[in-house]
Amino acid sequence: MPSKVSCLYLLTVVCWASALWYLSISRPTSTYVGHMSVPIRKAAKPPKNITFTNIHTRPLNPHAFEFVINEPKKCESAAPFLVILISTTHKEFDARQSIRETWGDESTFGDIRILTIFLLGRNTDPVLNQMVEQESQIFHDIVVENFIDSYHNLTLKTMMGMRWVATFCPKAQYVMKTDSDIFVNMDNLIYKLLKPTTKPRRRYFTGYVINGGPIRDMRSKWYMSRDLYPDSKYPPFCSGTGYVFSADVAELIFQTSLHTRLLHLEDVYVGLCLRKLGIHPYQNSGFNHWKMAYSLCRYRRVITVHQISPEEMHRIWNDMSSKKHLRC
């Protein structure tokens, strides 16, 4: 018959094992809770010696997110002339594929090196995340950080793109940020706007410049509260459907964003950062931010067209490519 000591020892072991098992199953295994639209960030360890100086210089938006899918070696072999950052969502595989097969094809311009990168956050659906991971393993053109992918986090997505260029592709000459429903006339973008044979510009930013103010109607998609932005005017900003800038601006914007209060309107927020930097965006009427009915001659005059479906993307690209010999 076992002694009282051995029984107590056995009981203690069982209790510890039970406690450890309970802790292991109760500890969160993901950085997301339910369907929250705000990511849970790891708490930063406070510095040992807090002074008034480092309190005031501490980043307002530390952008404490990690790359969960990355392509860090994309620019190692040679610096690209142009990096195209395309904001997209998990379910838009058809849109991404149509871009890969049309204007986003990296091999189109031969000696002019172009990189196409699709930007995403994390989805609350693990199946969609897994599908994007598999797509990334095939095409190696997707970058993801661990914030929740949502409309109100578009600013985080663009800042992720700026961070990626500044960190992994700082020697690129130019960057374009656009969306997955945009058709881009690459001939006009490359040869008429950026002109590879000319000296690269610095502190350069261009697109469809908007001079406006906040919409206070809560029913609007672009609603801006007075608490977030009390001023009656926005600084000049380029429509987020498509804008182009010299690659040096990527790091400038990202670093400025760390000390600039976040706004959910991505293009307005980039405009705020540009104002802090003293960079004035140039107006370019070739950036069309609305839907435009297709005609060969009309599309030859623009750089971007908005609200283009994957099917339209192929049709427009094929028509323009096959009729380059025709005059308007």
In the numeric block, the tokens 């040992």 are attached to: 48
Classify residue 224 by burial, with Cβ atoms within 10 Å: 0-12, 13-18, 19+.
Answer: buried
Terminal C-alpha separation, the chain: 102
Question: What tens digit of pLDDT does each residue of 212-263 get?
Answer: 999 999 999 999 999 999 999 999 999 999 999 999 999 999 999 999 999 9
Q: Which residues contact residue 140 at a Cβ distance below 8 angstroms, ignoring those fewer than 6 apart?
A: 71, 74
Q: 235 is written with which tokens?
A: 């600084």
CATH architecture of the domain formed by 68-322: Alpha-Beta Complex (3.90)
Beta bridge partners of 183: 305
SS3 275: helix
Mean pLDDT of 58-87: 95
Residue 131's H or E segment, with its range, is helix 126-139
**The pLDDT of residue 57:** 55
Distance in angstroms (rounded) separating the CA atoms of residues 51 and 55: 6
Question: What tens digit of pLDDT does each residue of 266-322 get?
Answer: 999 999 999 999 999 999 999 999 999 999 999 999 999 999 999 999 999 999 999
Q: Which residues contact residue 69 at a Cβ distance below 8 angstroms, ignoring those fewer than 6 apart?
A: 120, 132, 133, 136, 142, 143, 144
Q: What is the residue extent of each domain of the chain? A: 68-322
Contact by Cβ (8 Å): 231, 261: no
